[in-house]
Structure 1
Amino acid sequence: MLIQNFRQSLFRVDQVREIDAHAIRAGKIAGIELMRRAAFAGFACLRKRWPQARRLTIVAGPGNNGGDAFLMAVLAKAEGLAVELVASSEQSRGDAETARGSWRDAGGSIRLAQVDAVLPSADVIVDGLFGTGISRAPAGIDALLIERMQQATGRRLSLDVPSGLDADTGFAPGVALKADATISFVAWKRGLFTADGMDCCGELELDTLAIPYSSYAGRDADARLLGIELFNQFPVRKRNVNKGCFGHVLVVGGESGMAGAPRLAAEASLRAGAGLVSVATRLAHVAPINASRPEIMAHGVDDPQMLDALIERASVLAVGPGLGVRGWGHALWDRAVHGGKPMVLDADGLNLLASHASPDMQISVITPHPGEAARLLGCDVAGIQKDRFASVRRLAEKFDCVAVLKGAGTLVADPRGQVALCPFGNPGMASAGMGDLLTGVIAGLLAQGMSPWDSACLGVLAHAVSGDRAAQGRPRGLLASDLLLPLRDCVNGAVACAHE
């Protein structure tokens, strides 16, 4: 994916190191100069966020991240701040040793980390322990330092990456710092925006260290961030139209006792702009759906053969919400996946796919959470979460469709390996019905003629931003149905400036 909007480009660690190396080699920027720039950026970030801070404790590791920290200590001392510097090792590597010498030359002293020593109290703790230099669980004195930074009463600022977080995957294999803010250098690392990265980074800031564009040019970003400017893709509707112009979604689901799931998916399709929406469900659910939302055409389908006529009239299928995996659900699923219509597959539709996949199925989009993804890929949830980027790519390739891997930092992938990441959403969305809503949104966009990729990306984005607007900073107790009216705002481009 070629860089177009740099600040929405996500890179792997090896790619960032290549950019660094190019800047040093071709741009003739010395490594110690890049460290100085990182130190200036880190100190400016600290002063901007906590201008009243007077006492700093700076924790420095032996590598480049520690070098940034040593030079930041020099700047803070020159500004008259009280600085305590704690180093994890007696020596540093490469340019970081030069930075260490600069701190000594400035009259600074170094405390060597000890097993039984607590960190000095401070207004701000600066984390310069690891940066991108770790993908394993921290051990020994390093793990103790992370725990003590976490226990400290001051604010926590991480340089580049919170220590203990794998910058490639967003997975924390052991103890990891939960920072109040993280300033990332050179380029966004993809792991900052998904999985444990969502809890570890706090507020994020990027500084490219004035590296010339030539060091980035021609390099493909590994993934991209979804931004609200994508809502501009929704065309202004002509006035001379009718409901048949915007597609007909058929939601298939709702085993006994599960009427709410297809009902939520169906209304989400309507709110996303579909012209017509039907539901194929148990006969007992028809009256409640008609009573609560008469715009939805509910059909009792206790005989699976009755589904064929409904599939014929539909333009897009949304299969799985509340479907169940027993005889009735399996029979409807089998007819739907062989119905020859574009389809979004979720929930029990995915559980059935895991055990009954066949090459003649026509699937447009799948939307698994990590548990469903694990069943689809034949592994455990931990294996999915250790590398969500690899997992979503495997899903898209295996089922030859667009895959949405839900969770903190939801990912979208296509079979060619293209990946997009949604940085919006909140923990209140970890509640019943949210997945049904997303299925309906994506199906509604697909019915309006969008490609599976655009439908998935815009659907995930609209779903997450609607969740943030509905929560209003109060995520606990958020209901899936709370998102329906904000969703209408999103698909019409009326999105609050707070998300810019």
Structure 2
Amino acid sequence: MLDTQLTTSLSYKLFRADEVRNNEQEAASQSGCEMFTLMERAGEAVFRQCQHLLPNTDVYLVLVGQGNNAGDGYIAASYAKQAGKQVHVCAVEPQRTLDGDAGRAQERWLEAGGTIERFDAALLNKAGLVIDALLGTGINTYIRNEFAEIIDAVNQSDTPVVSIDVPSGLDADTGQSMGRCIQATVTVTLVGIKPGLTTGAGKQSCGRLVFEDLGISKAFGQLARPFASWLDIQQFIGLGPRDVHSHKGSYGRLLCVGANRGTAGAIRLAGEAALRSGAGMVRAYVHESSAVQVSAGRPELMVTSEGLEQALEWASCVVIGPGLGQDDWAQFTFETVLKHCQSEQKPVVIDADALNLLSRQATAYTLNDCILTPHAGEASRLLGVSVEDVEGERFNYAKQCAQRYHATCVLKGAGTIIDNETSVAVCRHGNPAMATAGSGDVLSGILGALLAQGLSTEMASRYGVTLHAKAGDELAELYGQRGMIASDLFDAVRVLINQ
């Protein structure tokens, strides 16, 4: 199911900032180079990306701080100057002499005839490109006013920005802004990909993410412990061909539960998504007022509004939540389903209103194979915190949700996180076009179909999220981001799951 050769590559792993700092020097030593060599390679890589982004830009503005991130900036400035660019280097403290490798890089810049100026916002009107080397991965408190003022000026301008390692002001581990944060066009992250660049506001802030291992990947990969996996559709081998001697029962019996009065569309989307994802048989248990609407136009979807216990006995796994509501019918249906899945140890996907009902329970259900699919608002209710808390520390709260309910938590959003208590993964696919009604219902149907076909909760959650997000990317590339509706995903998912 997974291509192990790809999954061992650093391009598919995320490393916390301290893990990079604690191991990069030894990795460099084992690779036969010193830390200043890494700084030179970093600066060269940044200039190369600048050339790739805007090859005809002649005026560079390089903003430097006081640490090794500034050293990378000085090296990039030196490469730009050697290439004939007009380069302005601005520092918060222009007269300050830096120490260590950053000091060597600063000295090289000055020896090449470069100067260091105090920042002037007027330079943003002259420059065609900004290199952001103000603040690196070491920041863990709110930034000082002198840095905040520069960041504000850069963000208010239209000048493209290339950030070194992380956008200045961004927490490299969480993706949270430390008061102010550069909104980069491109971020060149070094040695290891930082988790804060891959999810939530951090994914927005870093723009296009470029990874440079600086030639020490083999040694670093052996020394450092990854924090999470970064999921890409290329990592998955797929489900493979079906046996010739098989039948519909070979591919699972999925029960989708929801569609209260007036919300027939949600369960219809989940059910059809499950069929398009390969589930052998899909039945929908719905409120009696929704039965005709759900069954109309999709005869392959079996629909019932009676005999919930019998439907549960029939099913090999369950999706509950799309259009479920939170009234008495919903509460009774929810309790019946979860008690059955608990006693029969049946895999279940809990989504939408079922998550809101779950958040009201005094004690959590004990479910061996359970996938929760909250967005930030639902996660906030499950954990009793604010939406802002969840979005500010997405990794932390995905973990808390998984631990509290002993389930696999799929925290949806930009850079969807999958946490099953013991391992963490982030989906690199997905785009804003998918922020549309019913998209989450389609995801729950995909997850249910994969469980029905025998995948573990870990593999179903990782593959299902990736399929769903990649399908959205394929459609956005074809038609644009505006105007996508949830049912557009069906055909794209079907193509991907058969590759």
Q: TM-score, normalised by structure 2?
A: 0.94
Does the CA-based 8 Å contact 2:286-2:304 persist in structure 1?
A: yes
Q: Aligned runs of 1:89-488 on 2, under 5 Å?
A: 89=93, 90-91=95-96, 92-113=98-119, 119=124, 121-211=126-216, 213-301=218-306, 306-339=307-340, 340=344, 341-356=346-361, 357-416=363-422, 418-472=423-477, 474-488=480-494
Report what 1:12 is aligned to.
Answer: 16
Q: Which moved more, 1:404-413 or 1:36-45?
A: 36-45
- For structure 2, the residue ranges without an aligned partner over 5 or more in a row are none
Does the CA-based 8 Å contact 1:113-1:141 persist in structure 2?
A: no
Between the two proteins, the alignment pairs up a number of residues equal to: 487
Whole-angstrom distance in 2 between the partners of 1:361 and 1:448: 19
Does the CA-based 8 Å contact 1:64-1:93 persist in structure 2?
A: no
Q: 1:470 to 1:154 in 2, by over 3 A?
A: same
Does the CA-based 8 Å contact 1:165-1:196 persist in structure 2?
A: no
Whole-angstrom distance in 2 between the partners of 1:5 and 1:28: 21
Whole-angstrom distance in 2 between the partners of 1:295 and 1:28: 63
The residue identity in structure 2 corresponding to 1:419 is V
Q: 1:153 to 1:284 in 2, by over 3 A?
A: closer
The residue identity in structure 1 corresponding to 2:490 is L
Q: Which moved more, 1:218-227 or 1:446-455?
A: 218-227
Give secondary structure in 1 for the equivalent of 2:237: helix
Residue 117 of structure 1 deviates from its aligned partner by: 6.1
Residue 151 of structure 1 deviates from its aligned partner by: 2.9
Residue 107 of structure 1 deviates from its aligned partner by: 0.9
Does the CA-based 8 Å contact 1:261-1:321 persist in structure 2?
A: yes
Q: Which moved more, 1:135-144 or 1:153-162?
A: 135-144
Report what 1:48 is aligned to.
Answer: 52
Give secondary structure in 2 for the equivalent of 1:323: coil
Residue 414 of structure 1 deviates from its aligned partner by: 1.1
Give % identity.
37
Whole-angstrom distance in 2 between the partners of 1:318 and 1:38: 48
Aligned partner of 1:62 among 56, 59, 66: 66
Does the CA-based 8 Å contact 1:187-1:208 persist in structure 2?
A: yes
The residue identity in structure 2 corresponding to 1:326 is D
Residue 213 of structure 1 deviates from its aligned partner by: 1.7
The residue identity in structure 1 corresponding to 2:200 is A
Q: Which moved more, 1:152-161 or 1:125-134?
A: 152-161
Whole-angstrom distance in 2 between the partners of 1:93 and 1:263: 63
Residue 490 of structure 1 deviates from its aligned partner by: 1.3
Residue 126 of structure 1 deviates from its aligned partner by: 0.8
Give secondary structure in 2 for the equivalent of 1:239: coil
Does the CA-based 8 Å contact 1:121-1:153 persist in structure 2?
A: no
Residue 44 of structure 1 deviates from its aligned partner by: 1.4
Deviations 1:388-428 (A, max 9, x none): 11211221121112110000000111122x01110111111
Residue 165 of structure 1 deviates from its aligned partner by: 1.5
Deviations 1:124-149 (A, max 9, x none): 11111112132333331111111222
Q: Which moved more, 1:204-213 or 1:454-463?
A: 204-213
Whole-angstrom distance in 2 between the partners of 1:330 and 1:9: 41
Q: TM-score, normalised by structure 1?
A: 0.93
Does the CA-based 8 Å contact 1:57-1:120 persist in structure 2?
A: no
The residue identity in structure 1 corresponding to 2:386 is D
Residue 111 of structure 1 deviates from its aligned partner by: 0.6
Aligned partner of 1:81 among 85, 102, 106: 85
Deviations 1:266-314 (A, max 9, x none): 111111100000011011211122222111001114xxxx210100001
The residue identity in structure 1 corresponding to 2:81 is K
Give secondary structure in 2 for the equivalent of 1:47: helix
Residue 27 of structure 1 deviates from its aligned partner by: 4.7
Whole-angstrom distance in 2 between the partners of 1:238 and 1:423: 32
Q: 1:360 to 1:16 in 2, by over 3 A?
A: closer
Does the CA-based 8 Å contact 1:54-1:81 persist in structure 2?
A: yes
Residue 21 of structure 1 deviates from its aligned partner by: 2.6
Report what 2:42 is aligned to.
Answer: 38
What RMSD in Å do the two structures reach over aligned CA positions?
1.9
Whole-angstrom distance in 2 between the partners of 1:245 and 1:445: 13
Residue 358 of structure 1 deviates from its aligned partner by: 3.4
Give secondary structure in 2 for the equivalent of 1:196: helix
